[in-house]
């Protein structure tokens, strides 16, 4: 048997260690110079056959968790988008109400068309300023879950 020395470009074994290699037709592997510690090559082959498909089964078991995390991430993005749209609607409605315009229609026109049906923008006119509170219903990806509305308020000075 060939000895592999450290620094010889070998596989990093300590000096004096020997490589294991099969001997003859018995299927046994001889390790070391004294032949101590033998193992059957066939058991490793059988282990490979038994483990076939294990990764697929683990992936199928983990798939519902991955889908739930993805659904939660999309729902959080939808909530943030709706809150941003509510802020835009409140500012547009307050700007329109400060100029004595149709603030409710302008408020609905400022949001995306698929959110406009669930949008309300009542105005509160008092003294020299107008306050509009926009309420946009947050859509849910899962039927039965209700997140309520996203509510934002904007105040503008009135133009007399």
> How wide is the angle at C-alpha 62 spanned by C-alphas 58 and 65, nearest 5°?
175
Range of the domain at 104: 54-157
Residue-wise pLDDT tens digits, 40-66: 556 666 666 666 778 888 888 899 999
Average pLDDT across each block of 10 residues of the chain; the chain has 160 residues. List them in order.
54 54 57 54 63 80 92 95 96 92 92 92 89 95 90 90
Residue 1 lies in a domain: no
Read off the pTM: 0.63
User: What pLDDT sits at residue 96?
Assistant: 93
**Residue 60 and residue 29 in one domain:** no
Residues 6 or more apart from 148 whose CB is under 8 A from it?
137, 138
Which of 86, 89, 101, 91 shows the shortest CA–CA distance to 137?
A: 86
Domain count across the chain: 2
**Residue 65 and residue 111 in one domain:** yes
Residue 16 lies in a domain: no
User: What pLDDT sits at residue 33?
Assistant: 54
């Amino acid at each position: 048997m060939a000895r592999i020395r450290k620094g010889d470009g070998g596989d990093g074994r300590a000096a004096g260690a020997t490589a294991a290699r099969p001997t003859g037709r018995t299927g046994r592997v001889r390790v070391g110079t004294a032949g101590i510690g033998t193992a059957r090559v066939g058991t490793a082959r059988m282990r490979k056959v038994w483990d076939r498909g294990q990764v697929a089964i683990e992936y199928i078991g983990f798939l519902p968790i991955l889908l739930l995390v993805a659904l939660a991430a999309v729902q959080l993005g939808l909530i943030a988008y709706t809150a941003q749209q509510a802020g835009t609607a409140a500012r547009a409605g307050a700007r329109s109400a400060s100029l004595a315009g149709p603030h409710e229609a302008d408020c609905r026109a400022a949001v995306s068309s698929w959110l406009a049906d669930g949008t309300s923008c009542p105005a509160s006119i008092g003294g020299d300023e107008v306050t509009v509170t926009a309420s946009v219903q947050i859509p849910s990806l899962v039927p039965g879950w209700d997140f309520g509305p996203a509510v934002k308020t904007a105040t503008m000075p009135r133009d007399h």
